Amino acid sequence: MSLIPEKSRTDSLFYKWFLNYQATMALVITLLAFLTIFVFTKISFLFMPVISFFAVIMLPLVISTILYYLTNPLVDLINHLGPNRPSSIFIVFGLITLLFVWAISGFVPMVQTQLTSFIE
């Protein structure tokens, strides 16, 4: 199957005056793209369950991917120093948990004092 059109197709007036021009084909492709977008906006209610599914699934996936790439070098370093991989992961998760507890324990009293001063 050749990419070059057959001679009988290129001899027609429709091909010579309409399909042979790149600008015409660009306009046809643009029209088809806009028509597709228009049709999708008219049936958008069909895509709502899919969009809500991805909205629920994507946030944990993105957070876990970021945490993986941030903690993987630390796990590799701890693993290289001696403990096996599960122990290294447990140590890193423990450090992250302690960091969150420390941040919350420092943040809550600050907010509490600001709220009490705001109320008074």
Q: pLDDT value at position 95?
A: 93
DSSP state of 114: H
Higher pLDDT, 54 or 9: 54
- Whether residue 2 is predicted with pLDDT greater than 60 in this model: the reply is no
pTM for the whole structure: 0.50
For 41-100, what is each residue's pLDDT tens digit?
Answer: 888 888 888 888 888 999 899 999 999 999 999 999 999 998 999 999 999 999 999 999
For 25-39, what is each residue's pLDDT tens digit?
Answer: 788 899 999 999 999
- Contact between 89 and 73 under an 8 Å Cβ cutoff? The reply is no
Q: Is 88 exposed, middle or buried (0-12, 13-18, 19+ CB in 10 A)?
A: buried
- In SS3 terms, 10-32 reads as HCCHHHHHHHCCHHHHHHHHHHH
